[in-house]
Amino acid sequence: MKKIFILILPLFLGGFLFSQKKPQKKIAKSPVAKFNYHEEFKKISDEILTHGTAYDNLAELTKGIGSRFSGTAGYTKATEWAERKLKEAGAETIWKQNVKVPIWVRGKESLQIKTENGEWKNIRMLSFGNSEGTGGKDLVADILLVQDVTELNALTYPQVKDKIIFVNYPIDQTIVNTVNAYLIAAKSRLLSASVIGKKGARGLIIRSLTTDSDDTPHAKQIYYEADDKTRIPAVTIGVKSADELERLLKKQSVKAKLNMTAELKGETVNHNIIGEIPGNKDSKIILLGAQLDSWDFVEGAHDDGAGVVQCLEVLRTLKSLGITNNHTIRVVLFANSENGGNGRDTYAEYVKKKEEKHVFALGTDAGGYSPRGFSLDMPPQRRRLVFEWKNYFQPYGVYDFDQLNATQDVSPLKKLDIPLAELVVDTQRYFDHHHSVEDTFDKVNKRELLLGAVAMTQMIFMIDKNW
């Protein structure tokens, strides 16, 4: 017995002393959620799908006001409408922010082509936004087809001089994500009037950037370089016309007759329209942003009337459900997105100057189609926090949180280290109508539009309660 006790005692004492040096940690209890998020999501969805006003508001904006291009009376009417609608949605503070915008007037425009022995034939076209015109005079020149950057780089100045360059550069239909396909095509040097102009050309014609196969032209904004000695006019034509023109050029020479009265007439002041519900906990800001302007020839239903009315719907829903927001929920409806971007730059400068603390900024500019997720342009640690909420969103068809881009209107805020996001929708039809006369109210499905507002409201709710 004595030996056994001697053997056991050191073990007992060793264990006792060891336990004194390294006491076992208590297992922390899991934090109790303040909300049943599944129930909160259902309340938001039910409210919007049964009482949502976004579709009716979109009808007012597109059919009642119509085109709302920067520097026009249509945009002024849109700002007055937006102020009224923000108040109806529950915004407690509403104000206007001055934005300098260009006054660009499209005027009259026409494009004709003629083969060697043929007659002049009219081609549907649209001038690039902010493009120089021809002064109302006919610009007649031979057309030179260029199909890729390598070919363009190989052309000499004498080969290009005094020609109108035609670029038949299609969107890659094999890329399933149409936004990516569009951005790849849009960023091509082939479509730059400055690049073409420096080669000695007198004008530029491009194939419209669209996934459709019809003959509707789709607008594009022009960018001239500061050192351009001559700013050449640029136009876009529909897909069918582009393919027909290429077939002709491969067989024979073709001339173009371009006539445009387009011109810039200085600047004026438009406004970003801003409305918010103050925070009950602090003055930190959660931003919702969409562009209020449209092109000068179209209702702008998907681009971006849908985003405007969805932002309004978020405010209305939070108020209707009596949800107390911790942070300030702010809506900014941006001026001059289509032909300049001055609205978004002005807002970003304001935030920097005022040193306002923004917790999060959510943009929407991809149309009123079925929501599929949110792109997250933010640090990895912030992305991981959002990933944890996936299960709450999935019952609403919202599952894609892997994309990284954010809409242009909130993108300047990235320089201020503000986490950004964008509503991701099913865009397979978006570029059929984008920047064309086809972007009208009848192309928007009410339920899809409301479901987008549901997803946005749910995301804003989660950010407000957890960040």
Q: Are strands 358-363 and 420-425 parallel, antiparallel or unpaired?
A: parallel
CA-based max dimension of the chain? 123
Give the model confidence (pLDDT) of 362-371 as tens digits. 999 999 999 9
Q: What are the residues whose beta carbons fall under 8 Å from the beta carbon of 149, sequence distance 6 or more?
A: 188, 189, 190
CA-to-CA distance for 53 and 313, rounded, in angstroms? 7
**Count helices and strands in the chain by DSSP H and E runs:** 15, 15
> What tokens does 355 get?
């040193």
Chain-wide mean pLDDT for the chain? 92
Residue-range domains of the chain with CATH = 37-104+266-466 (3.40.630.10), 107-261 (3.50.30.30)
Which residue did the predictor score with more confidence, 31 or 262?
A: 262
Q: Using 50, 70 and 90 to split pLDDT, how confident is the model at 167?
A: very high
CB 167 within 8 A of CB 191: yes
Tens digits of residue pLDDT in 336-391: 999 999 999 999 999 999 999 999 999 999 999 999 999 999 999 999 999 999 99
Mean pLDDT, to the nearest integer, of 436-456?
98
pLDDT interval class at 3 (50, 70, 90): very low
Q: How far apart are CA 40 and CA 35, in angstroms?
A: 7
User: How confident is the model over 82-94, as pLDDT tens digits?
Assistant: 999 999 999 999 9
Distance CA 246, CA 39 (A): 58
Tokens 């300030």 belong to which residue? 328
Mean pLDDT of 290-313: 97
- pLDDT score, position 30: 39
Q: Which of 305, 281, 256, 258 is nearest to 58 (CA)?
A: 305
Taking the chain, what is the end-to-end CA distance rounded to the nearest angstrom?
Answer: 65
